Amino acid sequence: MTEERFETRAIHVGQEPEPITGAVVTPIFATSTYAQPAPGEHTGYEYSRTDNPTRTALQTALASLEGVNPGDSGGCIATSSGLAATGVIGYMLKPGDHVVLPNDAYGGTYRLFAQVFTQHGIAISAADMTDLDSLRAQILPETKLVWVETPTNPMLRIIDIAAVTEIGHAAGALVCVDNTFASPYLQQPLSFGADIVLHSTTKYLGGHSDTVGGALITGSDELLTQFRFLQNATGPVPGPFDAFLVLRGIKTLAVRMDRHQANAATIARFLEDDARVDRVIYPGLEAHPNHALAKRQMLGFGGMLSFIPKGGIEAARRVTSATEVFILAESLGGVESLIEVPALMTHMSVDGTDLEVPSDLIRLSVGIEHIDDLITDLDRALG
Give the tens place of pLDDT for each residue, 263-273.
999 999 999 99
- Catalytic option among 49, 259, 276, 317: 49
pLDDT tens digit sequence for 203-241: 999 999 999 999 999 999 999 999 999 999 999 999 999
Same domain flag for 239 and 180: yes
Nearest alpha carbon to residue 33 among 53, 43, 48: 48
Residue 161 lies in a domain: yes
CA gap 83, 108 in Å, rounded? 7
Q: Residues 235, 361: one domain?
A: no
Question: Do 235 and 267 belong to one domain?
Answer: no
Concerning whether 279 is annotated as a catalytic residue, the answer is: no
Give me the catalytic one of 9, 97, 106, 204. 106
Bond before 189 cis per omega within 30 degrees: no
In a domain, 358, yes or no: yes
Which of 104, 160, 178, 195 is flagged as catalytic? 178
What percentage of residues in the chain have a pLDDT greater than 70? 99
Q: Mean pLDDT across the stretch 168-176? A: 98
Domain boundary, last residue among 194, 215, 250: 250
Whether 1 shows a pLDDT value over 60: the answer reads no
Q: Pick from 250, 278, 313: which residue ends a domain?
A: 250
DSSP conformation letters of 19-72: TTT--SS------SB---SBTTB-SS-SBTTT--HHHHHHHHHHHHHTT--TTS
User: Of residues 55, 203, 256, 363, which has the active-site annotation?
Assistant: 203
Integer Cα distance of 221 and 225 in angstroms: 6
Q: Are residues 127 and 261 in the same domain?
A: no
Give me the mean pLDDT over the 349-359 stretch.
Answer: 85
Residue 1 lies in a domain: no
Instruction: Report the mean per-residue pLDDT for the chain.
Output: 96
- Position 110 in a domain: yes
In terms of domains, do 108 and 200 share one?
yes
The three-state DSSP-derived secondary structure of 123-180 is EEEEECCCCHHHHHHHCCCCEEEEEEECCCCCCCCCCCHHHHHHHHHHCCCEEEEECC
d(CA 372, CA 377): 9
Pick from 231, 250, 269: which residue ends a domain?
A: 250
Preceding omega of 151 cis (within 30 degrees of 0): yes
Task: Establish whether 259 is a catalytic residue.
Answer: no
Band of the pLDDT at 277, cuts 50, 70, 90?
very high
pLDDT digits (tens, 9 = 90+) for 11-63: 999 999 999 999 999 999 999 999 999 998 988 999 999 999 999 999 999 99
| pLDDT in the model for residue 354 | 79
3-state secondary structure of 79: strand
* Residue 185 φ/ψ, nearest 5 degrees: -65, -35
In the chain, the number of structural domains is 2
State the sign of the Cα–Cα–Cα–Cα dihedral 98, 59, 161, 252: negative
Q: Is 269 a catalytic residue?
A: no
Same domain, 87 and 214: yes
Residue 215 confidence (pLDDT): 98
Question: What is the distance, to the nearest Å, from the Cα of residue 82 to the centroid of all Cα atoms in its chain?
Answer: 7
Q: Please say whether the beta carbons of 85 and 78 come within 8 A.
A: no
Q: Which of 42-51, 183-192, 203-212, 365-374 has the lowest mean pLDDT?
A: 42-51
| Catalytic residue status for 136 | no
Q: Are residues 171 and 56 in the same domain?
A: yes
Q: Which structural domain, as residue segments, surrounds residue 134?
A: 6-250
152 and 194 in a single domain? The answer is: yes
Q: Both 101 and 46 in a single domain?
A: yes
Assign residue 102 the CATH number of its domain.
3.40.640.10
